Amino acid sequence: MVAAQRAGCQKIVKIQLGYCNEHCCKIDKCLNYCDVTTERICFEHSREDQFRRIKDLEESLREKQCDYNPHDHHRPHFDDLQIRHDKLLRDYDDCLIRLNESRDEVRILRSTWISGEENRIWRQEIEDCNARLLVDLEREQKRTEHWERKAIDLGRKIDDLECLLAEERLRHPKSDEYERQIGDLVRKVEILEEELRIERHNHHLNEGRQYEVEKLLCTIEELERKLKGDHYKIDELIRKVDLLQSILAGEKEKREILLEEIAKRDDCERVRRDGRRIRRGSWERRSRDSRPWGSVY
């Protein structure tokens, strides 16, 4: 907590930031503060210390690269780490530029002070911006420390691998056998990959066939239901056919009787034309009375 007042200043400013008596950051008449979250070191000291640590890390990385990376041997992991380290440096420089711009904005805003309320609002905005920048700086510092630890661990691993490689080279000076074994292993892996691809293809085919079988079973069940309904319809049609056949038999019988009557009538007409006297007997009366449509005479 910082509170300071000087001659000509009517405000007491309280900002919860770190403060360094040895080296402080000045903005205007009544406020001294530093942009770090610790109580031991100010912004300028932290920046100098950060630059020093970054330079030391660069020197150590260059030394390790010169010691363990001959010109005829490429190390992609070390190069990737170098690229990430360069990106961290650029991010850190951007963060410093943003902090300096924020300080300039604060100085300009305090020099163009209009009213207490607007000054309070601007100060709050600047404090929020500074807080965000401090969070970014702390995050970048943590990332730098993290990658420093990664670089140290990677250097140790490289040392161990170099020792193991030297021992293996001493024990096995010729690499033809290793190359042949590696080639055999690569061919076996390719064969296994081809077998795996065939198995996956067969599995997909079996899944497709299983789907087709299930679809056919559903179709068979649907056809069985339709066939059951068709059986009921066929039974009804058979009953209707039997009824129609019985009706047709009755109609045939009536037709035969009618044909017989017509034949007898034709005989009577022919006899009449021939001048013969037709004897009207009981049979003619019976046949005439039995016909539903009456006599044809």
| H or E segment and range at residue 2 | strand 2-4
User: Of 64, 63, 55, 52, which is closest to residue 85 (Cα–Cα)?
Assistant: 55
| Residue ranges in the chain modelled with pLDDT below 50 | 1-41, 72, 278, 295-297
Neighbouring C-beta atoms of residue 86, cutoff 10 Å: 11
Q: What is the pLDDT of residues 150-192, one digit of tens each?
A: 888 888 888 888 888 888 777 765 667 777 888 888 899 899 8
Residue by residue, DSSP assigns 237-286 as: HHHHHHHHHHHHHHHHHHHHHHHHHHHHHHHHHHHHHTTPPPP--HHHHH
> Quick one: pLDDT at residue 9?
38
CA 152 – CA 146 distance, rounded (Å): 10
pTM above 0.75, yes or no: no
Token pair, residue 190, equals: 């390719």
Task: Count Cβ neighbours within 10 Å for each residue of 248-257 and write b for 16 or more, e otherwise.
Answer: eeeeeeeeee
In the chain, what is the straight-line distance between the N-terminal and C-terminal CA atoms, in Å? 142
Can you tell me whether residue 19 is helix, strand or coil? coil
> Quick one: pLDDT at residue 34?
40
Can you tell me whether residue 69 is helix, strand or coil? coil
